[in-house]
């Protein structure tokens, strides 16, 4: 597995396993199968409501803690430094761990400054090896960097062939923030798995469209965390380190960019209000 080195020296696998939308009662099995397939980096969140199941799978795997890279995320409602620390403690208990490797602020909404101060404290206390953010547009990211001590190690944002985030990628690179993709397959939207360009490139390498997408992201130095509940696809999505896309193929895929979200814009006032009001137990 290839690693990236975050801005504080922590090493993170460039490919991991995401568990968004896996129901809690299926998550333990999916994560157990992912660990058996060879994944060592897991991405969950308080808002996914499956941290306990992720924790059970980790414990049952028998894999040494220092071989794993565990990410979880703080939800918007936990505003204020004390509430942030309580929310982190709850995530830690649900996961059954004594630290996490990466703690992300899930959304750029609410009292982000006190959340970030508390996350800096958690980092200083050794409870979190690295801290970062998610769904931050570049303006919000630069604002957070400018007014705080610690620069986020990671920004996890929607990134796939139809929304490539080239400008954000450059900004993040310039500020030492690791770009991490969520939704690398756009959850299959826009017929990603039968896109003619991806199919043509996949055919040249004897690979699948999914593998080409992951390879394309990895060659852009973007961390990927594809989700699947199927062991065959888990294995397929890991098998992307034995071929290389040419510059020409990278350009063909670059041409698929629509520079538009296939989900929603994090600056849409309706979504800011909707997500800001969502409560997570
Ligand atoms: P995704 O990984 O783009 O797509 C998952 C979908 O693709 C599932 O329907 C899966 O179906 C299918 N799939 C997976 N591998 C495949 C393959 N090789 N061939 C064909 N189909 C395949 O979507 P995502 O889960 O939204 O994103 C990945 C992770 O990013 C999440 O799990 C989560 O950890 C993170 N995320 C974060 C945020 C955020 O706001 N920070 C938002 C969304 C997601 P099966 O499961 O049936 O195989």
**279 in a structural domain:** no
SS3 assignment, position 242: coil
User: What tokens does 257 get?
Assistant: 């960019």
Count of domains for the chain: 1
Those residues whose C-beta lies under 8 Å from the C-beta of residue 147, and which sit 6 or more positions away, are 113
**1 in a structural domain:** no
In the β-sheet with 154-158, what is the strand arrangement from edge to edge? 17-18, 41-43, 69-74, 100-105, 128-134, 154-158, 178-182, 223-224
Q: Calculate mean pLDDT across residues 222-243.
A: 98
* pLDDT tens digits, 100-145: 999 999 999 999 999 999 999 999 999 999 999 999 999 999 999 9
Residue 226 alpha carbon to ligand 1 centre in Å: 5
CATH number where 104 lies: 3.20.20.100
* pLDDT tens digits, 127-137: 999 999 999 99
Kindly report the pTM of this predicted structure: 0.98
- Could you say which of 48, 103, 109, 171 is catalytic? 48
Which residue has a Cα nearest atom 42 of ligand 1? Answer: 182
Residue 259 alpha carbon to ligand 1 centre in Å: 20
**281 in a structural domain:** no
Question: In which domain, by residue range, is 68 found?
Answer: 10-274
pLDDT, position 167: 95
> Is the confidence at residue 36, as pLDDT, over 90?
yes
**141 in a structural domain:** yes
Ligand 1 close to Cβ of residue 18 (< 6 A): yes
Confidence band of 154 (pLDDT split at 50, 70, 90): very high
Confidence band of 78 (pLDDT split at 50, 70, 90): confident
pLDDT, position 115: 97
Q: Calculate mean pLDDT across residues 42-48.
A: 98
**268 in a structural domain:** yes
pLDDT, position 79: 86
């Amino acid at each position: 597995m290839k690693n990236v080195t975050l801005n504080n020296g922590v090493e993170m696998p460039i490919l991991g396993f995401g568990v968004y939308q896996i129901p809690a009662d299926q998550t333990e099995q999916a994560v157990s199968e992912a660990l058996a397939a060879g994944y060592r980096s897991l991405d969950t969140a308080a808002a996914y409501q499956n941290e306990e199941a992720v924790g059970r799978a980790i414990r049952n795997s028998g894999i040494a803690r220092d071989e794993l890279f565990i990410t979880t995320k703080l939800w918007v409602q936990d505003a204020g430094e004390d509430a942030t620390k309580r929310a982190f403690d709850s995530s830690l208990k649900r996961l059954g761990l004594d630290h996490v490797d990466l703690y992300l602020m899930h959304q750029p909404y609410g009292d982000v400054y006190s959340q970030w101060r508390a996350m800096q404290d958690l980092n200083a206390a050794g409870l979190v090896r690295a801290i970062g953010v998610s769904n931050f547009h570049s303006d919000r990211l630069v604002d957070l960097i400018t007014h705080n001590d610690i620069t986020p190690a990671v920004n996890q944002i929607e990134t796939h062939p139809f929304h490539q985030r080239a400008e954000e990628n450059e900004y993040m690179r310039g500020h030492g923030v690791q770009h991490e993709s969520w939704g690398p397959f756009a959850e299959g939207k826009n017929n990603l798995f039968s896109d003619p360009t991806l199919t043509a490139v996949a055919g040249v390498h004897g690979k699948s469209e999914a593998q080409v997408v992951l390879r394309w992201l990895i060659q852009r130095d973007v961390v990927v965390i594809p989700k699947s509940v199927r062991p065959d696809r888990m294995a397929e999505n890991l098998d992307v380190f034995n071929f290389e896309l040419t510059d020409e193929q990278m350009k063909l895929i670059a041409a698929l960019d629509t520079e538009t979200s296939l989900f929603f814009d994090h600056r849409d006032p309706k979504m800011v209000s909707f997500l800001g009001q969502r409560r997570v137990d």
